[in-house]
Amino acid sequence: MGSQIFGRRDFLKVAGLGSAALLFGNRLNAIGLRFPNRGVTDLFVPDTEISLTATDKRMQILPGAQTRVYRYEGQLVSGSGATVQAVPDSYLGPILRVKRGTKLRILFHNNLIENSVIHPHGLQVPEECDGHPMQAIGPGQTKVYEFEMIDRAGPYWFHPHPHMRTSEQVMMGLAGLMYVWDPEEEMAIPGASTGANDIPIIIQDRSFDQNNQISYQPNMMWGFLGDRILVNGKPNAAFSLEPRAYRLRILNGSNARTYKLAWSNNMPLAVIGVDGGLLPAVVSRNYVMVMPGERVDIWADFSSLAGKQVILQSLAFQAGGMGMMGGGMRGMGGIANGTAFDVLTVNVSQKATIKPVLGPLPALSVRYDANNVPDYNTPRPFVISMGRMMTWTINGRVFEMEAVAEDEKVLRDEVTTWEWVNNSPIPHPMHIHNVHFQVLQRVAPSFVDGYNTINQGLIDGGWKDTVSVWPGERVKVAMKFGPHTGMYMYHCHILEHEDMTMMRNLMVMDPTMPGM
Ligand code: C2O
Ligand code: CU
Ligand code: CU
């Protein structure tokens, strides 16, 4: 399989998507009439206005030469209900903290030399704010997002979503956090509204060339695998923390790499939240799997570690099934998926100034199960496979800009069950826009080795927007779309898979509209 390690451009040629497709991609704006770009409206009265600018600049990441990056720069323009906090001297975008219920206006300025659009990952927003590739704007243009923050408190994030350019733009640095908080969350987590006890941990892998420039050579099968692990934009990350509890808010912001997180001193990870916010109870695990796009909140208590050091590691696991390629497939010089390495060193000081205590975690508003999900035994299948020429498909289909198949239409306000069926040799993080879902069931693969190296680290008890589906596995999820209807998307969150083909439109239909 070694010969199938191609650069991106080679892949495009092989797949018959040569420069014509790229040219076409740049013209999509003109034909994407479903989403005319518009200015601010009088109909929407925001509580808060924020500007986010995608910039092209140089920053110090490694010693020596600066690195060219893309970066979101944020600014609070006016109003209350949200704050904008930069991640200090990092290429990463800002942390927006938004109170649930806030009416938000975001002005996205594209100062790149290419098209882009922002997608608010995990949020339920009107379709024109979802960042469909058809909504991409050109260099120098501005796109207005206006929506009410209706989602549950949780660790959402934002990143680009332009046609076939998402992976490279994220690689260059475009990603930011959007933490939603509400009073319920504050009951559980002291200081949730301000992030007083939060430690954001964005894990990404990168490779750099001899001139310290980001070197992007994705592996055709796995996507991009780098040779360095960065936390919040920094290699060799080390934090000095007090001997007390913190909320570690972990986002796997990598293009393709999966992490198996564990503490070096074998203390269990106390998981308090996932993609869509807090879990109903603390889940204690020896390790936790996090695939690209997934988030996990950990309550980490260092009280007994005064003066000591503990390392957050990623442990070895078997990433691919069928014994074929295990973790053995490498990117150009990248570390194979499933290799062990250190992620973050925590140096614990001698004395704590405060002692935050975890409060009661909020119950889920509903727990979907066989009794309340009508199509529990007849889920819609979504079969993941790898076609010829390494074309990733979902139900045999590849991405088409405007097409929506019958089984890609859902009714607003109706509970629907999907089943991901992974018939491919590697794991995929499957993401659905405009909804939070719950995992109903996982059926373990019968024929794949290595499942026991990951299955104790799957956290399925809360609201999710991205779920890992392991080789040979079937994962059943239930969800209810609403209030927003229109054209959204679902896709694999390995960004190279998304950009290649492994993404589809999803139409949320209004059940009261005639003919639907
Ligand atoms: Cu974070 Cu369409 O994805
Ligand atoms: Cu998303
Ligand atoms: Cu994939």
- The proportion of the chain whose per-residue pLDDT surpasses 90, expressed as a percent, equals 84
pTM to 2 decimals? 0.92
Kindly tell me if the per-residue pLDDT of 6 is higher than 90: no
Is residue 480 within 8 A of residue 349, CB to CB? The reply is no
Q: How confident is the model at residue 323 (pLDDT cuts 50, 70, 90)?
A: very low
Confidence of residue 4 (pLDDT cuts 50, 70, 90): very low
Q: For 444-464, write each residue's pLDDT tens digit.
A: 988 777 999 999 999 999 999
Q: With a 6 A CB cut-off, is 491 part of the ligand 1 pocket?
A: yes
pLDDT at 446: 83
Share of the chain above pLDDT 70, in %: 90
- Name the CATH topology of 198-348: Immunoglobulin-like (2.60.40)
Domain 8-188 classification at class level: mainly beta
CA angle 191, 72, 158 (to 5 degrees): 60
Can you read off the two tokens belonging to residue 30? Answer: 């003109």
Question: How sure is the predictor about 133, in pLDDT bands with cuts at 50, 70 and 90?
Answer: very high
User: Does 504 contact ligand 1 (Cβ within 6 A)?
Assistant: no
Task: List pLDDT tens digits, range 377-398.
Answer: 999 999 999 987 779 999 999 9
Q: Please report which confidence band the pLDDT of residue 32 belongs to, taking 50, 70 and 90 as the band edges.
A: very low
Cα–Cα distance, 314 to 338 (Å, whole number): 8
Atom of ligand 1 nearest to the CA of 503: 2
pLDDT computed for residue 321 by the predictor: 54
- Walk across the sheet containing 142-148 and list its strands: 67-79, 48-59, 103-110, 142-148
* Nearest alpha-carbon partner for 438 in 367, 384, 381: 367
Nearest to 172 by CA among 55, 41, 266: 55
> Which comes out higher in pLDDT, residue 308 or 221?
308
Residue 33: what pLDDT? 53
> What are the φ/ψ torsions at residue 9 (nearest 5 degrees)?
-65, -40
Give the pLDDT band of residue 288 (cuts 50, 70, 90).
Answer: very high
pLDDT-wise least confident of 100-104, 302-306, 335-339: 335-339
Query: Given pLDDT bands bounded at 50, 70 and 90, which one contains residue 13?
Result: very low
- Determine the 3-state secondary structure of 259 from DSSP: strand
For the chain, where do the domains classified as CATH 2.60.40.420 start and end?
Answer: 8-188, 198-348, 380-509
Residue 319's pLDDT is: 77
Token look-up 């290429």 returns: 91
Q: Which CATH class is domain 380-509?
A: mainly beta
Distance between CA atoms of residues 223 and 167, nearest Å: 9
Closest CA to 68 of 167, 229, 214: 214
Return the pLDDT at 514. 65
Residue of the CA atom closest to atom 1 of ligand 1: 121
* Residue 111 in this model has a pLDDT that exceeds 50: yes
pLDDT of residue 28: 42
Q: Tell me: the pLDDT tens digits for 53-92?
A: 999 999 999 999 999 999 999 999 999 989 999 998 899 9
pLDDT for 491 beyond 50: yes
Residue type, 228: R
| Tokens representing residue 452 in the block | 């026991």
Instruction: Please indicate whether residue 121, judged by its CB atom, sits closer than 6 Å to ligand 1.
Output: yes
Does residue 20 register a pLDDT over 90?
A: no
Q: Which atom of ligand 1 is nearest to the CA of 490?
A: 2
pLDDT range class, residue 25, cuts 50, 70, 90: very low
Answer yes or no: is the C-beta of 295 below 6 A from any ligand 1 atom.
no
161 close to ligand 1 (CB < 6 Angstrom): yes
Per-residue pLDDT at 287:
98
Band (325; pLDDT cuts 50, 70, 90): very low
Ligand nearest to the CA of 504: 1
Of the candidates 67, 131, 55, which has an alpha carbon nearest to the alpha carbon of residue 94? 55
Closest alpha carbon to 235 in 198, 200, 258, 204? 204
Instruction: Supply the mean pLDDT for the chain.
Output: 91
Which long-range CB contacts under 8 A does 396-402 form with residues at least 24 apart?
397/504, 398/501, 398/502, 399/491, 399/501, 399/502, 399/503, 399/504, 400/504, 400/505, 401/28, 401/32, 401/133, 401/134, 401/163, 402/34, 402/134, 402/505
Please work out whether the CB of residue 464 comes within 6 Å of at least one atom of ligand 1. no
CB 468 within 8 A of CB 257: no
Residue 38 pLDDT greater than 90, yes or no: no
Q: Is the peptide bond before 120 cis (omega within 30 degrees of 0)?
A: no
pLDDT of amino acid 333? 61
